[in-house]
Amino acid sequence: MSTWRASRSAADRKRNRNRPGRPTWKWPAPDTTRLPHPTRAARGERHGRPRRPFARGTVTMATEHRPESPMSTSLERYTDRFEQYADRHPRIVDVAVVLALMGCAALGSNLTLPGADPPDQDRTAIVLMGVSCLALLRYRTHPRAAVVVTAICTVIVIALGYLLTPLLLGPVMAALYWLATLSDRRTTRVFGFTSMVALMVASAVSDSMDSLSLVLRTIGPFFWLLLPLAAGTMTRLRRAYLASVQARAEHAERTREEEARLRVTEERMRIARDLHDVVAHHLALANAQAGTAAHLALTSPQQTKQILTDLTGTTSSALRELKATLGLLRRNDDPASASLEPSPGLARLPELVSGCASAGLAVTVTTTGEPRPLSPGVDLTAFRIVQEALTNVTKHAAADSAHVRLVYSGSRLLITVSNDGPDTTGTNNAAPSRGFGLMGMRERALTIGGELRAGPRPEGGFEVTTALPLQPSAPATAVAATDVPAGGEES
């Protein structure tokens, strides 16, 4: 058979490979799952063997999800229960540990080397080991004292001729572990090194291990006492790490809450500014227009009619802007829910001047320099500041005219709003206004990196000056505080 296969030509193999009806095999196979042979599976079940999910030789993928074993799940459950019980009843756990260490020490005191004579059985060693174990009950409050007592008692027991074994070192090992867990690194090093040296010296001069070399007598205490120190240090570092992680998480949570409160406060301030700018200005104009119409109702009917028409336009504009503001507040993230109308800017100054004129205030606007395009935020801020300043003149200043000057200088826009009303500093200085107009103007200027000053003029009247960048920048850190007299007060 092998000779015939070797004698076939390559053409015959290629022809047989491509003949119709011959199954084609690909590597790797699309499905590597092999089911067990039905006859073999049934035979195995008859003999008491469980059915194998895969046949022999089947390769399982490394990414296959394997459930956790019941043993590991039970171990984790019992460990959690023990930790919870230890947290609730620490004294009971401490007493149980001390009793276990007493048993280990008693068992270790009976061990000797092969062929060596046991030490004299007296109660001194039992009393010393009992004292060392009882000292461990105060390890939570006095870990250093527990190490000192257990080390001294163990050294005395070894000096009496007892064999140094891990069972006999149990109390001092537990004391060193708790010391490394509860104390700092320096304290652990000092007490751990001292205890280690004392026990190594006691083991070297002890008569119970004369048959062993000096290296074997000293290397044992060194490694056995090094284990609890390393374990305690790792436990302390892990606890410190977990505490730092928890502290960072709590700090991050507090920071998120503070940031959320700050954002809510900023949003409330922005809403308050918008509502104040929309409502206060139009209500002030409507009040002035209504007063002017009542004053001219008998003497100038035509002018009164025109003022009432302007009053209707003022209230309609107030309702429209208020509706737009409320629409912005109720807007979600849907792009379709856009603002109802574009934000106002300096292009609407003629409309603002016309409204003030109908209220009896003549406003002149002067522009110096070549006007430059402003960003939407700066344009809105400039308009709101001019609007609020003119509203304050209408409400508080006994002036018939106001002046608005726009100066384009470099990368900044300087806006000055002044009136020539009388200086009322001495009349109402005892009762200053508590409005929010100037506060809102300062906040608006600060948000785009500008500044604002307001105060009385030497020649009389009141003046508001603000310098705004053509493009918004970082907010300023300080604002010049000026005493605002009642004659040009904020609303």
* 110 three-state secondary structure: coil
What confidence score (pLDDT) does residue 11 get? Answer: 54
pTM of the complete model beyond 0.75: no
Q: What is the mean pLDDT of residues 223-233?
A: 91
User: What are the Cα distances from residue 150, in Å, to 199, 201, 207?
Assistant: 11, 16, 21
CATH class of 345-491: alpha beta
What confidence score (pLDDT) does residue 374 get? Answer: 86
Q: Rounded CA gap, 63 and 371, in Å? A: 68
More confident residue, 247 or 431: 247
- Tokens 């790792």 belong to which residue? 234
pLDDT tens digits along 176-192: 999 999 989 999 999 99
What confidence score (pLDDT) does residue 487 get? Answer: 39
Which tokens in the block code for residue 297?
């109702």
Q: Which residues contact 427 (CB under 8 A, 6 or more apart)?
A: 486, 487
Q: Supply the Cα-derived Rg of the chain in whole angstroms.
A: 46
User: What are the Cα distances from residue 187, in Å, to 141, 244, 347?
Assistant: 15, 22, 76
Residue 466's beta-bridge partner residues? 415, 452
What confidence score (pLDDT) does residue 238 get? Answer: 92
User: What are the Cα distances from residue 139, in Å, to 45, 133, 205?
Assistant: 60, 10, 30
**Other Cβ atoms closer than 10 A to 318:** 18
What confidence score (pLDDT) does residue 361 get? Answer: 84
pLDDT tens digits along 115-140: 566 666 667 878 888 888 888 888 88
Beta strands in 282-424 (DSSP E): 362-368, 401-409, 412-419
Q: Rounded CA gap, 88 and 178, in Å? A: 19
Q: Which residues contact 311 (CB under 8 A, 6 or more apart)?
A: 286, 289, 290, 293, 358
- How confident is residue 17, by pLDDT bands cut at 50, 70 and 90? low
What confidence score (pLDDT) does residue 427 get? Answer: 41
| Exposure of 233 in the CB half-sphere (CA atoms within 13 A) | 12
401-409 β-sheet, strand order: 362-368, 401-409, 412-419, 462-469, 451-456
Residue 467's beta-bridge partner residues? 414, 451
Residue range(s) in the chain whose domain bears CATH number 3.30.565.10: 345-491
pLDDT tens digits along 136-175: 888 888 999 999 999 999 888 888 878 888 888 889 999 9
